[in-house]
Amino acid sequence: MDYKAAAALLGGWDNILILTHKRPDGDTIGCAVGLCALLRQCGKTAWVLKNPDATSRFTPYLEGYVAPEDFAFDKVVAVDVATLGLLTPEARAIADRRGVDLCVDHHPSNENYAKETCLETDKAACGEIVYKLVGELGHLDREIASMLYLAVSTDTGCFVYSNTTPNSHQVAAALMELDVPYVDINKRHFRTKSLNRMQLERLLVERMEVLEGGAVVLSSLTLADMETLGAREEDAEDIAAFLGQIEGVKVSATIREVENGECKISLRSDPDYLDSCAACALLGGGGHKTASGCTVPGDAWTAQEAMKQAILQVLHGR
């Protein structure tokens, strides 16, 4: 259904529970809180289901919006959630028990699991769709605008990813008119790292194995590293993207030791130079040409050596 029909549906509902996706990002959180604030502005009772995956970067936005345990909801809305598999276990249990009434999303991979789906795949962020719902149901205020700005800014990588469109900028510009704290939001999400994160990055650089004249780099992080630093999982979030930032690097492999004597390897590459998926397939993994992964038994150094041999085999057939 289009956004006008979705807005009409929401306009007739009350006691609404909003679901976010696993390992929530700024888009799902911004949309959930923004939509919740909008529904409350319309005089409705609305809450966002607690998401245990939410990191400290996002939990402050949820203050005052997390549903009480005993919230008796009548309708369930999912935002920025492409598949049922992307729901947290708690949200999944609700979806399995009574279904999802409405899904608002922008992912082409949306599996149409909800009773009604408002899907606009040309949008960089789900927040750009919720922005249109605001126009139908109520009015923008600073609170809603801030949450939708968070959604659009984070899903476009602060307006630099290839998904960024003129509409992303137009929506952001309209939101900025509401005096949103865009400097704070963008600093928090794009110009701030925990000291532990910097330390993990330092270890990756110190241990970097460089091949092919600097085009290929591999490095590892162990469980002991995490423990020694007192680093949390959120300090290592998306750390596979780090080594690829080095000038001249076309292939970067980030090896992370996990429990059970295994290592998870994330491989990123320039697809014209190396097909990541082909290299990871040699180790039983897979993914995309530009980003793939595999799980390899053994310690970090064993796994790194195995990944190195797989990369060399794809590059040179040896």
Q: Which of 112, 104, 114, 116 lies closest to 79 in space, CA to CA? A: 104
Nearer to Mn ion, 146 or 168 (CB): 168
Q: How many residues bind Mn ion (CB under 5 A)?
A: 4
> Which one, 6 or 229, has the nearer CB to Mn ion?
6
Q: Which residues within the stretch 249-308 sit at the binding site for Mn ion (CB under 5 A)?
A: none
Footprint of Mn ion on 201-220 (CB under 5 A) = none
Amino acid at 142: R
Q: How far is the CB of 86 from Mn ion (least distance, A)?
A: 11
The window from 20-28, 274-282, 300-308, 310-318 that contacts Mn ion (CB under 5 A) reads 20-28
What residues contact 79, with CB distance under 8 A and at least 6 apart?
Answer: 18, 19, 20, 28, 31, 32, 35, 103, 104, 105, 126, 130
Instruction: Give min distance, CB of 140 to Mn ion, in A.
Output: 20
Bridge partners of 116? 102
Q: Residue with the closest Cβ to Mn ion?
A: 27
Residue 5 phi/psi, 5-degree rounding, is -65, -40
Of the pair 126, 300, the CB lying nearest Mn ion is at 126
- Find tokens 């750009």 and name the residue: 128
Token readout for 94 is 């609700």
Residue 128 in the binding site for Mn ion (CB under 5 A): no
- Decide: is 105 part of the binding site for Mn ion (CB under 5 A): no
Report the SS3 class of residue 113.
Answer: coil
Q: From CA 94, how far away is CA 96, in angstroms rounded?
A: 5
Give the interface segment with Mn ion, choosing from 23-31, 69-77, 115-123, 284-292 (CB under 5 A): 23-31
Q: Which residue, 71 or 159, has its beta carbon nearer to Mn ion?
A: 159
Distances 237 to 25, 82, 190, 193, 312 between C-alpha atoms, Å: 11, 21, 13, 11, 27
User: Which tokens in the block code for residue 190?
Assistant: 């794009």
* Closer residue to Mn ion (CB): 80 or 235: 80
27 contributes a contact to Mn ion by CB under 5 A = yes
Ordered alpha helix ranges (H), the chain: 3-11, 26-41, 59-62, 89-98, 127-137, 142-155, 166-176, 182-190, 195-206, 223-229, 276-281, 300-316
Among 80, 128, 143, 257, binds Mn ion (CB under 5 A): 80
Residue 294 beta carbon to Mn ion: minimum distance, rounded to whole angstroms: 26
Question: Shortest gap between Cβ of 315 and Mn ion (angstroms)?
Answer: 34
Cβ at position 60, least distance to Mn ion in Å: 20
Q: Is 155 in the site for Mn ion (CB under 5 A)?
A: yes
State the residues that interact with Mn ion by CB under 5 A.
Answer: 27, 80, 126, 155
